[in-house]
Amino acid sequence: MANAHDTSADAPATDWVFGYGSLIYKVDFPYRRREVASISGWKRRFWQGSHDHRGTPEAPGRVVTLLPAPGNVCRGMAYEVDHAVFEHLDHREKNGYQRHRVEIELLDAAGTVNGTLYVAGTDNPAFLGPADPEAIVEHILSAHGPSGSNRDYLLQLDQALREIGEEDAHVAELAERVSAQQHYSTHGLTTRKAGKAEKSRSADQS
């Protein structure tokens, strides 16, 4: 029978998890409550390799992790979940990410809670580190994995961040470059197609 010293009986039935990447927009786990939230002292970067979701071991994709950034506030989504959910999350985030305890500020509830996030540290084998935005975009446009294209990961994250009012210049720049390339290639294709059609019309007429 539980008594006053039995900490397991006193332990809360739930915990909070803070998502800053795909955990914001791909919610494939049950939660009791969710809140737009922020953490302090971290920044989001496309510096982690993905062997299992947006790439393969032979051709890894590029996804986000967090890097220490004193003074920076990083906005994401916090979920209150049952402890059992961590089994699923540990598996989903297994490629280099580790659980880390943080203080999470819940924006609407105007209070703080302690919770867990998944961070891929610079010493994990899949860590890629920084690169020029142009090189990151080229990399992202070339990568695909079991969870879909790396391009969709970036664009969905950019959209999700906008929806929660997060201004992340790093993500926004990459998304803008990808969209511009897409526009250019669509436009280029149209022009090429139109050019071809024009050519075959004039060939018909000659």
Catalytic residues: 93
Asked if 67 is part of the footprint of ligand SIN (rule: CB under 6 A), the reply reads no
Q: In this structure, how many other beta carbons lie within 10 angstroms of the beta carbon of residue 33?
A: 12
Measured from the CB atom, the residue of 171 and 194 that comes closer to ligand SIN is: 171
Considering only 15, 118, 158, 178, the residue that binds ligand SIN (CB under 6 A) is: 118
CB 120 within 8 A of CB 46: no
Considering only 63, 74, 128, 171, the residue that binds ligand SIN (CB under 6 A) is: 63
- 205: number of CA atoms within 13 Å, CB side? 5
DSSP codes joined into one string, 104-170:
EEETTTTEEEEEEEEEE-TTSTTB-----HHHHHHHHHH-EETTEEHHHHHHHHHHHHHHTT---HH
Stretch that binds ligand SIN, among 13-21, 108-116, 141-149, 189-197 (CB under 6 A): 13-21
What is the Cα–Cα distance from 162 to 139, expressed in whole angstroms? 23
CB of 161 to ligand SIN, least distance (A): 11
What is the Cα–Cα distance from 17 to 81, expressed in whole angstroms? 7
> Cα–Cα distances in Å, from 77 out to 42, 110, 154, 181, 193?
14, 14, 17, 29, 44
CB of 63 to ligand SIN, least distance (A): 5
Spell out, one character per residue from 75 to 94, where the chain touches ligand SIN: x when CB under 6 A holds, - when not: ------------------x-
CB of 74 to ligand SIN, least distance (A): 10
Considering only 15, 16, 21, 168, the residue that binds ligand SIN (CB under 6 A) is: 21
Stretch that binds ligand SIN, among 19-27, 107-115, 129-137, 181-189 (CB under 6 A): 19-27
Asked if 126 is part of the footprint of ligand SIN (rule: CB under 6 A), the reply reads no
Site residues, ligand SIN (CB under 6 A): 19-23, 63-64, 93, 118
